[in-house]
Chains A and B, each alone.
Chain A
Amino acid sequence: MSVTVDDDLWSAVGDPIRRRMLDLLLAGGGGTATTLSEQLPVTRQAVTKHLGVLGRVGLVHGTPSGRERLYHVDEAQLARAVAQLSAVGATWDARLQRIKRLAETIQRTRNSQGTDSAENG
């Protein structure tokens, strides 16, 4: 069975810039749209939009800091996102294995019924 695990495929976590932002926020112990845009090949406005996406799913929280907002990663929520996605994938793996076994059992039963005069042990 081939298993495709695309990055860590959560909507918010799926975007490479947003993942990089999470990395930077984790490494720097927080950051603002300005400090993040200085470390990324995108504008401050784009960073602000991405922070909005991350904030809506609870992956970052912002607190007022001067004229900007200081953002931190919600590590519990990030861990939940990663664990959730791998768990959903693993559960489908188990379901697909059950589908396989059921179908193969039915097939064997039909094959032997179709040739029940044959001596196929």
Chain B
Amino acid sequence: MEYGSIEREIHIDATPEVVYEVVSKPEHLREWWPDDAELDPVPGGTGRIRFGDPDSPDAQGSPVTVMEADPPRRFSFRWVYDDDATAAPDNSLLVTFDLVPSGTGTLLRFREDGFRERGWEAAVLEQAYLEHAEGWNHFLPRLAAYAAKLATP
């Protein structure tokens, strides 16, 4: 068992192609995770995600490097590393989305690895992100508005 990881599975009533777009394209990333995302979703592509108002001293961010981009099966990236570093197993967290066809939908398997290698500092950094990213109170109104927009013909 890998203790330094988080694993989740969730069924989604959408095709793997649609789920892949949502987890990999910056315009969708912005809707479910950070406040802003720049990312070239191809292997080796780098970018940045940001939380909070960029003009605020509380704004936070992290570089992102795409590791695998294999539509519509797998999308993985590394984040939470120093801006001047190259993402590597010992300095970052690895997020992997595996998409498995399931009926007319998709089984989305998520994992985040690297806590063991990254150690305590990453925990503290992630904690800081949580304070921005946590909670339905912040996200639900945005999500509802976005969903309504998409659903409008």
Contacts and interface: CB of A to CB of B under 8 A. Distances in A.
Contact of A102 (B120, B127, B147): B147
B143 A11 contact: no
A94 B127 contact: no
Contacts of B13: 104, 107
A74 B5 CA distance: 23
Contact of A1 (B8, B22, B120, B147): B8
Majority secondary structure of chain A interface residues (helix, strand, loop or mixed) = helix
A56 B115 CA distance: 15
A103 B23 CA distance: 9
B8 A108 contact: no
B16 to A, nearest CB: 10
A75 interface: no
Given A96-B10, A98-B32, A112 B153 contact: yes
Given A96-B8, A107-B18, A14 B3 contact: yes
Interface residues of B, number: 46
B150 A109 contact: yes
Contacts of A97: 10
B79 to A, nearest CB: 13
B33 A95 contact: yes
Contacts, number: 131
Interface stretch (B38-46, B56-64, B129-137): B129-137
B68 interface: no
Given A94-B135, A102-B147, A110 B32 contact: no
28 contacts: A1-B8, A6-B1, A7-B3, A10-B3, A10-B4, A11-B3, A15-B3, A57-B119, A80-B123, A81-B123, A87-B127, A88-B6, A88-B130, A89-B8, A91-B130, A92-B6, A95-B133, A96-B8, A96-B108, A99-B22, A99-B108, A100-B11, A100-B108, A101-B143, A105-B147, A107-B18, A109-B153, A110-B18
